[in-house]
Amino acid sequence: MTDARDIIESACPGATVEQFEHRGETTVEIRADRLKEVARFLAGPQLGYVLLSDLACADFPENAPGPRFRCAYQLFSLDSSTSLRLRAWAQDAADGEPELPTVSDVWPTANWHEREIYDMFGVRFANHPDLCRILMPLDWEGHPLRRDYPLGGEDVEFSDVP
């Protein structure tokens, strides 16, 4: 889908930021506040991107004071057998925490993916039906995949070291 940005822009004017092509894969960066609108359009009958196969997050602490967390939505159309990646930067909410709108009402598989990103990175998904920890214990403090998360652990004792 080489003209993905134009197709999205025709239905959702001003929603896209940029399009990238790399090794035959298309990525369209979307404004965070327009993510749900674009998701509904892409999942609709015109394009049929009904499968959200993956949702990933990356932490860019060096971007401070700008957005730090970028999420990538890997979509697939069963009708056209094409894939498309959407990216959006999580924006700071009123309390300073990173947030994106949930797309779990558009693609039900997003429910668990969004919970995993919340648990590991601390990115909240507004209006998610059950945003809670999914991998870490409920009383765990912090988000282990943030790049500034303190590394720790137990010292390992080797028996062959004098």
DSSP, res 141:
-
The hierarchical CATH code for the domain 4-126 is 3.30.460.80
Predicted pLDDT at 2: 53
Residues 44, 36 contacting (CB under 8 angstroms): no
Q: Mean of the per-residue pLDDT values for the chain?
A: 92
pLDDT in tens, 68-117: 999 999 999 999 999 999 999 999 988 889 999 999 999 999 999 999 99
pLDDT higher than threshold 70 for residue 156: no
Predicted pLDDT at 83: 95
For the chain, what percent of residues have pLDDT higher than 70? 93
pLDDT band at 64 (very low <50, low <70, confident <90, very high): confident
| Torsion angle in degrees (nearest 10) through CA of 96, 74, 138, 145 | -70
Show Cβ contacts of residue 7 under 8 Å, excluding neighbours closer than 6 positions: 1, 47
Predicted pLDDT at 94: 87
Largest CA distance in the chain: 70
CB neighbourhood size of 119 (10 A) = 19
The residues spanned by each domain of the chain are 4-126
